[in-house]
């Protein structure tokens, strides 16, 4: 008689996830937004970073160490935070594309690469937080193990014998997913299962590809 394998951690209630990794990602996003030229920012340079910091402080005050509270109000604040960051990034992408296509002075090739790199990294971080915030209802719901149907299929889920018995996806896994998706312009080792996950990954890849193509073309033409 074959012994049954223990239920994997991502399917059973586990300890809530630590907040500091995603908080660090938000801090990096705010810092990157502050480095962008005024023409690429939505509204005054300080507006979006100030709103994002205020929302992040509310979330930290509610759950200073681990993400375990999931009230409708806190959920709304968390989604509004990443929505604001994504809106700012979308505006920056649109303005950068406009500048490149209309022949606007974008500075030297080094300056253009630095600005484009910051926007590219903002794209990766914002989608990483989206993936982390929405997969199986968010971090608090994942800790409770209430939704058995994942939106993203990570390799340890398909080969549990190759991973520790307490393995479950954390923010770094979603950051790696967002980075590889933006770099390869397609899924790599993690597959999207739900329709929203497929749409989000397609959108991230499209934005990354647009930035890369236009940035390389403009930077090459700006070289002496």
pLDDT digits (tens, 9 = 90+) for 124-169: 999 999 999 999 999 999 999 888 899 999 999 988 788 888 899 9
Look at residue 90 and tell me if it is in a domain: yes
What is the percentage of the chain residues whose pLDDT exceeds 70?
95
Look at residue 124 and tell me if it is in a domain: yes
Query: What pLDDT does 90 receive?
Result: 94
As a whole number of angstroms, the distance between CA 112 and CA 218 comes to: 8
- Percent helix, percent strand, percent coil in the chain, to nearest 5: 70, 5, 30
Summarize pLDDT for 181-213 with one digit per residue, the tens: 999 988 888 999 999 999 999 999 999 999 888
Look at residue 162 and tell me if it is in a domain: yes
Look at residue 180 and tell me if it is in a domain: yes
Look at residue 3 and tell me if it is in a domain: no
What's the whole-number mean pLDDT along residues 16-32?
A: 94
Query: What pLDDT does 56 receive?
Result: 93
Report the domain count for the chain: 1
Residues 188 and 31 sit within 8 Å (Cβ to Cβ): no
Summarize pLDDT for 41-99 with one digit per residue, the tens: 988 888 899 999 999 999 999 888 888 888 889 999 999 999 999 999 999 999 988 88
Look at residue 1 and tell me if it is in a domain: no
Q: Which helix (H) or strand (E) holds 152?
A: strand 152-153
Look at residue 6 and tell me if it is in a domain: no
Look at residue 194 and tell me if it is in a domain: yes
What's the whole-number mean pLDDT along residues 105-126?
A: 86
Query: What pLDDT does 221 receive?
Result: 67
As a whole number of angstroms, the distance between CA 65 and CA 43 comes to: 33
* pLDDT confidence bin for 1, thresholds 50/70/90: very low
Is the model's pTM score more than 0.75? yes
Domain with 171 in it: 13-222
Query: What pLDDT does 126 receive?
Result: 96
């Amino acid at each position: 008689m074959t012994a049954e394998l223990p239920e994997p951690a991502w399917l059973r209630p586990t300890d809530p996830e630590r907040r500091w990794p995603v908080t660090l990602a938000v801090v990096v996003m705010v810092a990157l937004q502050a480095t962008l030229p005024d023409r690429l920012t939505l509204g005054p340079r300080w507006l979006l970073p100030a709103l994002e910091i205020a929302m992040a402080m509310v979330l930290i005050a509610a759950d200073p160490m681990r993400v375990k509270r999931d009230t409708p109000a806190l959920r709304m604040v968390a989604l509004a935070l990443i929505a604001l960051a994504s809106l700012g990034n979308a505006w920056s992408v649109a303005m950068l594309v406009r500048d490149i296509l209309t022949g606007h002075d974008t500075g030297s090739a080094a300056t253009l690469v630095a600005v484009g790199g910051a926007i590219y990294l903002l794209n990766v971080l914002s989608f990483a937080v989206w993936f982390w915030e929405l997969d199986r209802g968010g971090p608090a719901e994942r800790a409770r193990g209430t939704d058995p149907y994942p939106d993203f299929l990570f390799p340890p889920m398909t080969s549990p014998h190759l991973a520790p018995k307490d393995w479950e996806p954390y923010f770094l896994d979603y950051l790696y997913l967002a980075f590889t998706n933006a770099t390869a312009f397609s899924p790599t080792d993690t597959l999207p299962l739900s329709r929203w996950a497929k749409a989000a990954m397609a959108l991230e890849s499209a934005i990354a590809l647009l930035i890369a193509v236009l940035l390389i073309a403009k930077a090459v033409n700006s070289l002496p």
